[in-house]
Amino acid sequence: MVDGEVVMDDERSDGEASGGDLGVAVAQFAPVADVAANLDTIEGLARTAVARGARLVVLPEYSMFFTAELGQEMADASEPIDGAFAGALGALAGDLGVHLVAGMLEQASDPERFSNTLVAFDDDGRLVATYRKQHLYDAFGQRESDRVVAGAVDATEIFTVDGVPVGMQTCYDLRFPEVTRTIVDAGAELVLVPAEWVRGPLKEHHWRTLATARAIENTVYLAAADQTPPVAVGNSFVIDPMGTELAGLGEQAGVAVAWVSRERVAAVRRVNPALALRRYAVVPRSAATE
């Protein structure tokens, strides 16, 4: 079983939730080029999270299969949305009675490309939401678009865990505030961000700053699960609607659990009604202007 350091919210240092709160776990590890090995790691992390009270476990981008260079090996490993990896993840969610979210390689019509897709399974093992990464990492010397098909700007899929509405986005999408705002406009009060946030100068600073800003400006919880080094920065965390980090990890594989509540979201929004006061809407760019 994989485990690591855990930093709990001071108000719940005993690991117990107050009545009605939702236990959310961020679980981080470094996926390898072996689907079965990654599933074993995912199971260990998920079991640890459930033992600590989590009802929702968030795993990194590319949890299914990963190589440092996005090449043909990843395209060859891609599967349909109802393939073996997703089936195993759903079975695990049902067995543990927990909601699971993870990144997978979804087959595309072009055999040299794939979709960078998040899948969410409920505690009965049913697929309840998907998200295909919209903004590809063509930055800091990388070219994700050489292999990955960008997700369409479709209607946002929201799913509910114990009454809390939840939305998803992926890694580089965090640099585009319109993505999170669109998810929140669809009703989400908790935003999940599976990631493979590549290491580099000031990258950890960007990771923390952007994630915190998205939580504050939208007055929502944000749970970000990154891959660990050597490629990514680790530092997964759960942030509350006022920008406070409730739980987090360092550079090692492991699980951190925090408790979120709709009452906290409502209370923050009474004090900081930024969503109600804003004067601009988010409108997708048309194909003609892209």
DSSP of the chain: ------B--GGGTTSPPPTTPEEEEEEE----S-HHHHHHHHHHHHHHHHHTT-SEEE--TT-S---SS--HHHHHH-B-TTSHHHHHHHHHHHHHT-EEEEEEEEE-SSTT-EEEEEEEE-TTS-EEEEEE--S----TT--GGGTEEPPP--PPP-EEETTEEEEE--GGGGG-HHHHHHHHHTT-SEEEEEE--B--TTHHHHHHHHHHHHHHHHT-EEEEEEPPTTTB----EEE-TTS-EEEE--SSSEEEEEEE-HHHHHHHHHH--HHHH------PPPGGG-
Q: Is 133 a catalytic residue?
A: yes
Residue whose tokens read 């079965």: 36
Q: How far apart are CA 246 and CA 95, in angstroms?
A: 28
Q: How far apart are CA 184 and CA 15, in angstroms?
A: 28
Distances (CA, A) of 257 to 6, 37, 138: 8, 24, 32
Q: How far apart are CA 143 and CA 64, in angstroms?
A: 20
Distances (CA, A) of 46 to 155, 187, 191: 29, 27, 19
Q: How far apart are CA 84 and CA 50, in angstroms?
A: 23
Residue whose tokens read 């920065």: 233
Q: What are 18's strand-pairing partners? A: none
Determine the pLDDT at residue 154: 84
Determine the pLDDT at residue 155: 84
Residue whose tokens read 């996926």: 31
Q: Is 171 a catalytic residue?
A: yes
Tokens of 90: 């759903």
Nearest to 103 by CA among 174, 178, 38: 38
Point out the catalytic residue in the list 171, 189, 196, 251.
171
Point out the catalytic residue in the list 133, 189, 196, 251.
133
Tokens of 145: 């678009």
Fold of 21-278: Nitrilase/N-carbamoyl-D-aminoacid amidohydrolase (3.60.110)
Q: Report which residue type is found at 147.
A: R
Q: What are 116's strand-pairing partners? A: 105
Per-residue pLDDT of the chain (290 residues; tens, 9 = 90+): 444 433 333 333 334 455 569 999 999 999 999 999 999 999 999 999 999 999 999 999 999 999 999 999 999 999 999 999 999 999 999 999 999 999 999 999 999 999 999 999 999 999 999 999 999 999 999 999 999 999 999 889 999 999 999 999 999 999 999 999 999 999 999 999 999 999 999 999 999 999 999 999 999 999 999 999 999 999 999 999 999 999 999 999 999 999 999 999 999 999 999 999 999 999 988 643 44
Q: Report which residue type is found at 85.
A: F
